[in-house]
Structure 1
Amino acid sequence: MLNVHLVPHTHDDVGWLKTVDQYFYGSRNDIQHAGVQYILDSVIPELLRDPIKRFIYVEIAFFARWWREQDAAMKENVKQLVNEGRLEFVLGGWCMNDEASTHYNAMIDQHTLGFSFLQEEFGACARPRVGWQIDPFGHSREQASMFAQFGFDGLFFGRLDYQDKDTRVKQNNMEFVWRGSPKNLGKTSELFTGVLYNHYVPPPGFCFDELCNDEPIMDDERMHDVNIQSRVQDFIKIVKDQAQHFHSNNIMMTMGSDFQYSNAHTWYKNLDKLIKYVNQQQSNGSDINVLYSTPSCYLYNLNHLNQVWNSTKDDFFPYASRENTFWSGYFSSRAALKGYARKSNNFLQVCKQLDVLADLRREGNFALENLRVFKEALGVVQHHDAISGTEKQHVANDYAQRLAVGAERCQLVTNAAFEKLLPKGSDKAPQQVYCPLTNISYCDFTEHQKQFMMTVYNPLGHIITDFVRIPVSGGPYRVVDPKGLNVTAQLVQVTNETKRIPERKKSIATNELVFMVEIPPLGYSTYFIVETNNMDEATSQSSKIVSLPRDQSELPLYIDNDEYLVNLDNINANTLGLSNKRKNISIPLNQAIWWYEAFGGNCSKGEFQASGAYALRTKGERHRLQDDTSVYLTMGELVQEAHMNFGPEATQVIRLYKDMPFVEVEWTVGPINIKDKLGKEYITLYDTQSMTTGDLFYTDANGREILERQRDHRNTWNFNNTEHVAGNYYPVNSRIFIQDKTQNQQLTVLTDRSEGGSSLESGSLELLVHRRLLYDDHFGVGEPLNETGADGQGLIVRGKHLMILDTIKDSPALHRSLALKSYMAPSISFSELTMTPEQAMSKYNTQWSALKKPLPANVHMLTLEQWTDTPKIQPIEIPQILIRFEHIYEKDEDTVLSQSAVVDLTDFTTFKIVTMVELTLGANLPLAELNRLPWAYIPDTKEESLTKEKLLNTAIPRSQSIISLQPMQIRTFIATLDKMH
């Protein structure tokens, strides 16, 4: 028989056209008719009425909210449905996350949040076994690797490039084994993957939702409009058409779509009839058998056929839905929200760590409840219409507000932690104050204090040296380190370009106080800043401002430190000279901010496709902002800066900090002028003019592994590129680089948020940093991407790139460690200082670490948090933590750092581990109990063989305090602590 698996489902966006709350309650139906609570209210009784029916549910952010409103009787009924496998949770994350703009840390966290809810409320039967990424706009190989490490048996998705899908349909290659980490993790990262034939909607003509217009099945012979015979024949034809493109005698059909099943009875009544009458045709020789099913049931049937499948190790970016229509614009849409999400994830990790290290569990559920608010907010923002930037403006505002509320709740946790960690005796620690707008030189607290304390917490397991920039209104200052030693500081003027940013209109800061801090691993350092009139006491020095152009005899036209020299001789032609002094490498560099005109159109067909929140489409060549760039230098002992003004819409600062092995490029774009009726796509350009890199370049996948990209090429089909720019843009989550193998040179650019990027010519890189558009691209959002700021003008966005010029061999060690330091940056807080620094040092622990020694340089502690969401196997008073360690290098990247690593858990000073259980990556199953479905596949290159890949040794060494890690491996543990420690 040809088994047709009907999968009743609903796709419930966690915010898009309406906010999360509006979608759940069904408000603002003038925007979109959708109410998630009514879907679940309607589906559950239908399932309870008939043991044959099935339903899958995905978005735990909605389900958890619905669940919390149910009475005990309903909860028991739902548990029964889950235990019977008739209500199946697939994917299981807090949301269906985007795959292009998300960072792996946040992706793992949001799935862990959903998994823990399911585990807590339903136990083992609710554990998701299938990835269900049916709506994201392109798919990441790293996501596939994560799903395999979660213990999933397979993945299904809906969107892939139209040329790719056409090829796969013709070649009957819609299902395959996706090798998520072929170089590093092998079989542990392999995942059976299927492309849904009908996207994720019902087959044409067979949508039975009350919002659909398809004909119901009318089967009463006494009626004149009986259509059962034609409907059955139409369905059988659809089944046969689909089946010819798949290898097995099983096919799957998605019966549902966006926010459907608010009246589940209409769906199930018609599906019952469809199943009945199609299956009756078996008595006439039909081989078609239709049944209610789920994705895991479908997978189980495929697996037992013992077939050998094709394989791939590519990702699925960028996604194109037709000619001229590449969905690569959302890689950069809403750049401010993307940056805010990255910083919020950073702060959440800090809060979770401090909760454990300060042992706040003794304070009850105070910390857990506050952290829950932030976790859920950040989980929602990972949604594929959130961090992607493809939502309506009022929804984007709601996401940002949720992050802000979550951060405030998180600050309560960090304050409670520092109240325990800072005091030496009974003295109460001062309240910590956070300044989230220091990126625009604004901190109300430091601007109005004559003296204050600054506590810098380091969430990394390595010693960190970094430079801080504190907005101040006075001076000079004395800066004192945790040991009472004076610290050299530099006062850098707040620029006129910064002062014009409307969100800082209340600021009175005239300078930023810059100095270096050193922070122990997984610990903090406290510094003291005191304004003084005594120049002999002051440790701060003013910067010297030098304008350009000017008489070259006054001062050389360059900035430099021990690592780099940036020559500005030819700056008016936007050309720099970039030199790595230690490696004796020099290149000319056309580095500036440029823009593309965005294509406008009515989107009626591909040639009229407009650039919008989803799609990127440029018109003509890129444009220079102006020919004469005004430049001035800020010179000092700690930082040297070249300030470049490209006109009223864009500025940048190139910085060299003392002893730092990178060049910082801070870009500021906006307000983008649209009075000329042109939408604009702003890029930063890094054109070496000397490196020969051909058509190859490299980007990261969600912050982890590096993928090779080839311009105007796809590995799996003959690619016809209709858009030179958009068709070659890829997600850049943390870095992009080019290599000149003849000269042994690599130019790497690291980002502080996800952006779209490419190499459109040999020796060149570009990153799309800000967008303001006048047309909607007609993919549902219904409004152009036209963000405005506090003054009603176009939004001003500021971000940073770190540029590294090095040899190919030595580059990975730098870009790996700098990317880690960027996304897990030190957390800075301030507090009042009502005494001298010397007196404060006698009352407070000014430097502290939770580690006896740093972690190995190739190891990162990815997760440290309280863990009470597991089933109540043990009394809650027995403390448990969730802890993850990862190897941050790939194989063969570095002769030393790519070797295996060992972590000794006895190096922690604040807790003692009694027992430890290793879990799958999502922390919802002991690794020893994992038994995934095996899949045989044909390697996608002749040089590889099936026997080559071996499972990683994930066993815990005999001593539970020692953990070994292989390249790119993440290991997850639940550790039970000594409750008396």
Structure 2
Amino acid sequence: MSVSTPFVFLLLLFQSGVWGFPVRQTPQESATCGYKSCHATKPGMLNVHLVPHTHDDVGWLKTVDQYFYGDRNDIQHAGVQYILDSVVDQLLKNPDRRFIYVETAFFYRWWKQQTDDMQNTVKQLVNEGRLEFVNGGWCMSDEATTHYSAVIDQMTMGLRFLNDTFGHCGRPRVAWHIDPFGHAREHASMFAQMGYDGFFFGRLDYQDRNRRMVAREQEMLWRASESLTPPMADLFTGILPNGYNPPEGFCWDQSCDDPPIRDDPDLEDYNVDDVVTRFLSIAHAQALVYKTNHIIMTMGSDFQYENANLWYKNLDKLIRYVNQKQSNGSEVNVLYSTPSCYLQELHRANLTWPLKGDDFFPYADSAHDFWTGYFTSRPALKRYERISNGYLQTCNQLEVLGGPISRKGPFGAGDSETLKKAMAVAQHHDAVSGTEKQHVANDYARRLANGWAHCQVLVSNTLSSLSGSSAPRVYCEHLNVSVCPLTETSKKFSVNVYNPLAHPVSWPVRLPVNGTAYSISDANGKAVDSQVVPVSQATAAVRRGRGYAVNELLFQVQAPPLGYSTYSVSLLQNGRPSPQSSPLPRVPTAVQNKFLRVTFDPETGLLSSLSNLETQQTVKLSQNFYWYNASDGNNSESIQMSGAYIFRPNTSTPFIISKTAKTETLQNSVVQEVRQWFSPWVSQVVRLYTDSRALELEWTVGPVPIGDDLGKEVISRLDSSINSSGVFYTDSNGREVLQRRKDYRPTWNLRQSEPIAGNYYPINSRAYIKDDKDQLTVVTDRSQGGGSIQDGSLEIMLHRRLLYDDVRGVGEPLNETSDIYPEGLVVRGRLLLSLSPPATAADTHRPLAQEVVLQPLITFTDGELHPSTRLEFSGLQAVLPPAVHLLTVSQWDQDSVLLRLEHQYQASESKEHSQPVTVNLQKLFSTLDVLGVSEMNLSANQWKDEMTRLDWKAESGEMPLPKRGGDPSVWEVNLKPMEIRTFLLRVRQR
């Protein structure tokens, strides 16, 4: 079938009733959901919007399953299935009642267990706006430690389910992040591009809140991008008055102790007058710090409404008795409401709102309580989540490229859904954040591992189909510690390198082996330079008997865009490695390739300078490891301890682990390494590959010793000659970069009380310092916390081991152990350093960060490949322009693919790449014919041409409307800096 226009594509979809697409609403439809369903308010009165809600963590003190079923109530009394049962029952008893629900992961599970009659009843409640979904993602994601691609994925999954199930009445109008511990600008930008009209949250710095209350600036317009044309990334944002709890004295859940409304006047304990008086006092006080005659009150909290009758019976009475006072002159009107109904009234007020351009990090709830520890907490889980995200994108791509055989092929039934759901759950603000109990962290990791197993079958099916080889595929998930049974024992094997990026990559491969010489040939039969080096002492120690390779085979691979290349490896020689390949116990003067030169101090064994040979730049640069002594709460200023959430060192000067490093040096045609040992529990490899523009620092930390009864927070610190003037820069969720200034906040006069923790920020993928001449960029392999405490310095926290709970609810210290490391967790990771002129630095660090996030997938087959095997493949017809990132290629339904194209540079960031670029969709894929296309919003739950948002006026003046010239054709996609465009493609396999 040939389809020439997107309009025909859409017509076919609607005529065939394709599941999973947004429903176009016709004028005849008269559903009363959304803004139409809001109760009338009273002009001239103070309207109090009561919002019944429950906050249901997708794992925290209990696992997701335990929370849903109400298991392990000895840990925490919480059962989400009973909450939803009870709320639906109570909504049916009074049509005035309202309820909002947030976490689609839980609702999806509950929905599947309901009868048809119950499902129809709930649909009616949704259609009438009595049950309203807000936020609507699979979870309420963390904002500091999540990567934007994973956030978009989990929002898309949750919103798609609501769209499929309830149509346009299931679409949330409001983003709702009431619990995350600080708020990222990139999240606001994403929410705006997903079509949300507003955003509400509960937590912000106590100093910021105090200033905003006085200035009545608790509601604002957040301009969340410096590159996108307003109002594309503008989002109305409101701060809730009580976090997300009810006003004091008005909690009527079974978990609360506040007295019910006792309204029988014949009884001695009648309290209606007292309740009404207290409520009116609270309402008037709240109105003083907000801008309109509308205020909002959150009536609910963690896992509340399991017995919803308790709440609703008292709320009914509260509304009735407070409103009765209007006949005696009261000017307070109380009503059941939702965040979107409250937002609608703010919009109707037609006011101008203060403008905000920075973010809400770091978050402190009092002078010595900065929530900056979780930026690094559970670093192993943070890394596992990050590589799982990359693996999911690879799995999604190969599902599309392989077609139906990917899901049911020679290796069985595979799927991407299991990993999608596991990754979605992992974005929760008590998951990748590291702020959960240990048994819950284990459950998140187990879910990810299960998702990997399902994807591995899919990947094997696709690679088998594309290559024409039915040989079983082997996955080695512990290559970072030199463990892979196949390469350790096989005399002949092949290495398949799949590249999920839209640009070719060059990638170093290190394989554990026991031979001393190998021949390697690429897909064209050309010999590849390789070297065999001994496994380092640090690696042998950290793998703890899981592998027995004595050597590592090193070589560089090239992989085409959205495709794979295959390398054949044959053993030539066993025995002892040659003396030339063994490391020498000395400090080198320098290591260098054609791009970089690194020098070392011969006395200490530490880095001493870094040079960019292309640009003739050199900076003094030293690096070492330190640890902060974690506060145990025994302090005259505050009893606050360091814990999973809170970072609170009890001194501003970290302890150096060692002033010198014992070193070994290894230099060959593939790599140059300086192996450094700082202590029995800290080591590092300074590594420079032959063709790399980045210097790699591979750190290994742990088990962190606690025999001295001191919790430790371990950092890697870089000290340079760069004159950074108290300023450094961090990314926001992996996308746009924000400026950070020591002891400073852009929107209020900071009283700094924690000189270290109060200057820490989340680093999701990169951070840098610069002056007029030089920019030193650090790319991280996971989310971490860091700061620039001294000029010219960058420090990144690597690992935390703490002996006390920080009294934020988790109830156990962050003291990680495992079966392999019972004496304390060992963590290994990489920092990549680059030095460039500031004007061109992004041309290096942007693609470098993407390569770390979406690193190649390496698989193995044993023995010799069949001669007919296809050794190389690309899913693209041509390499995409350097500015274009292929963010999403995912199967949507049988004949449709979800595609996101992203311009990965900011405006003015790169002279060469910060320009609009064009991509032709029909010339994109090598194995797919694109028959039709239609553009969607970022979360793929609305057609782009139907997405309308409330417009808001900023105090700085009227906002320009976005201007987009018409595309040259429906197939030509134009991308401006930082723009993401989302499409549904109707495709046919070639």
Scaled by the length of structure 2, what TM-score is found? Answer: 0.93
Match of 1:121 among 165, 176, 196: 165
Quote the offset at 1:602 in angstroms.
6.3
CA contact (8 A) 2:363 2:370 kept: yes
Distance 1:623 1:754 in 2: 23
Determine whether 1:499 maps to 2:531: no
Determine whether 1:623 maps to 2:661: no
* Structure-2 change in CA distance of 1:183 and 1:606 (3 Å): farther
Distance 2:618 2:845 in 1: 19
CA contact (8 A) 1:772 1:785 kept: yes
CA contact (8 A) 2:532 2:577 kept: no
Match of 2:945 among 901, 908, 928: 928
Match of 2:517 among 461, 476, 479: 476
Alignment-derived partner of residue 643 in structure 1: 675
Match of 1:517 among 540, 544, 557: 557
Determine whether 1:799 maps to 2:819: no
Determine whether 1:180 maps to 2:221: no
Alignment-derived partner of residue 238 in structure 1: 282
Alignment-derived partner of residue 95 in structure 2: 51
Distance 1:143 1:434 in 2: 34
Distance 2:167 2:405 in 1: 24
Quote the offset at 1:544 in angstroms.
3.8
Determine whether 1:676 maps to 2:705: no
Alignment-derived partner of residue 553 in structure 1: none
1:586-632 residue CA offsets vs partner (Å, 9 max, x unmatched)? 122120111111111169x9612111100001122111112331011
* Structure-2 change in CA distance of 1:510 and 1:969 (3 Å): same
Quote the offset at 1:850 in angstroms.
1.2
CA contact (8 A) 2:515 2:574 kept: no
Quote the offset at 1:575 in angstroms.
4.4
Match of 1:953 among 964, 968, 980: 964
RMSD: 1.8
CA contact (8 A) 1:188 1:952 kept: no
Quote the offset at 1:364 in angstroms.
6.6
Match of 1:909 among 926, 930, 942: 926
Quote the offset at 1:362 in angstroms.
8.1
Quote the offset at 1:824 in angstroms.
0.9
Distance 1:633 1:231 in 2: 76
Quote the offset at 1:121 in angstroms.
1.1
Distance 1:157 1:851 in 2: 42
SS in 2 for 1:895: coil
* Structure-2 change in CA distance of 1:373 and 1:206 (3 Å): same
Alignment-derived partner of residue 871 in structure 2: 846
Alignment-derived partner of residue 474 in structure 2: 433
Alignment-derived partner of residue 936 in structure 2: 919
Matches within 5 A, 1:872-911: 879-907=895-923, 908-911=925-928
SS in 2 for 1:709: strand
Identity of aligned residues (%): 49
Distance 2:406 2:724 in 1: 57
Distance 1:681 1:745 in 2: 30
Alignment-derived partner of residue 880 in structure 2: 855
Distance 1:539 1:784 in 2: 46
Quote the offset at 1:512 in angstroms.
1.4
* Structure-2 change in CA distance of 1:342 and 1:618 (3 Å): same
Q: What stretches of structure 2 of length at least 5 have no aligned partner?
A: 1-44
* Structure-2 change in CA distance of 1:602 and 1:150 (3 Å): farther
Match of 2:591 among 559, 569, 572: 559
SS in 2 for 1:339: helix
Quote the offset at 1:678 in angstroms.
0.7
Alignment-derived partner of residue 327 in structure 2: 283
* Structure-2 change in CA distance of 1:791 and 1:706 (3 Å): closer
CA contact (8 A) 1:319 1:327 kept: yes
CA contact (8 A) 1:901 1:966 kept: yes
SS in 1 for 2:794: strand
Corresponding letter in the other structure for 1:901:
V
Quote the offset at 1:332 in angstroms.
0.3
Alignment-derived partner of residue 663 in structure 1: 695
1:627-665 residue CA offsets vs partner (Å, 9 max, x unmatched)? 331011011111000111001110111100002101001
Quote the offset at 1:184 in angstroms.
3.0
* Structure-2 change in CA distance of 1:918 and 1:368 (3 Å): farther
1:87-126 residue CA offsets vs partner (Å, 9 max, x unmatched)? 1110011100000000000000000010111111111110
SS in 2 for 1:727: helix
Quote the offset at 1:183 in angstroms.
3.4
Alignment-derived partner of residue 779 in structure 1: 808
Matches within 5 A, 1:296-315: 296-315=340-359
Match of 1:408 among 443, 447, 453: 453
Residues 359-368 or 639-648, more deviating: 359-368
Matches within 5 A, 1:353-752: 353-360=397-404, 370-423=415-468, 428-501=469-542, 503-533=543-573, 543-548=581-586, 557-570=589-602, 572=604, 574-601=606-633, 607-620=638-651, 621-688=653-720, 690-741=721-772, 744-752=773-781
Quote the offset at 1:539 in angstroms.
14
CA contact (8 A) 1:104 1:703 kept: yes
* Structure-2 change in CA distance of 1:367 and 1:190 (3 Å): farther
Determine whether 1:25 maps to 2:69: yes
Corresponding letter in the other structure for 2:127:
N
Corresponding letter in the other structure for 1:590:
S
Quote the offset at 1:470 in angstroms.
1.0
* Structure-2 change in CA distance of 1:954 and 1:324 (3 Å): farther
SS in 2 for 1:642: strand
Distance 2:634 2:280 in 1: 37
Quote the offset at 1:860 in angstroms.
0.6
SS in 1 for 2:346: helix
Distance 2:181 2:606 in 1: 36
SS in 1 for 2:585: strand
Corresponding letter in the other structure for 2:424:
G
Distance 1:126 1:375 in 2: 21
Alignment-derived partner of residue 866 in structure 1: 891
CA contact (8 A) 1:570 1:576 kept: no
Corresponding letter in the other structure for 2:919:
V
Corresponding letter in the other structure for 1:529:
V
* Structure-2 change in CA distance of 1:326 and 1:606 (3 Å): farther
* Structure-2 change in CA distance of 1:541 and 1:574 (3 Å): closer
SS in 2 for 1:406: helix
The total of aligned residue pairs comes to 942
Quote the offset at 1:429 in angstroms.
1.9
Distance 1:113 1:683 in 2: 36
* Structure-2 change in CA distance of 1:338 and 1:606 (3 Å): farther
Alignment-derived partner of residue 967 in structure 1: 977
Quote the offset at 1:959 in angstroms.
2.2
* Structure-2 change in CA distance of 1:250 and 1:79 (3 Å): same
Determine whether 1:818 maps to 2:848: yes
SS in 1 for 2:928: coil
Scaled by the length of structure 1, what TM-score is found? Answer: 0.94
Distance 2:885 2:81 in 1: 40
SS in 1 for 2:188: helix
1:255-277 residue CA offsets vs partner (Å, 9 max, x unmatched)? 00000000000000000000000
Distance 2:597 2:968 in 1: 51
Matches within 5 A, 1:317-336: 317-336=361-380
Corresponding letter in the other structure for 2:512:
P
1:272-314 residue CA offsets vs partner (Å, 9 max, x unmatched)? 0000000000000011111101011111111111111111011
Distance 2:697 2:742 in 1: 26
SS in 1 for 2:474: coil
Distance 1:962 1:714 in 2: 42
1:872-892 residue CA offsets vs partner (Å, 9 max, x unmatched)? xxxxx5x00100000000011
Distance 2:964 2:701 in 1: 49
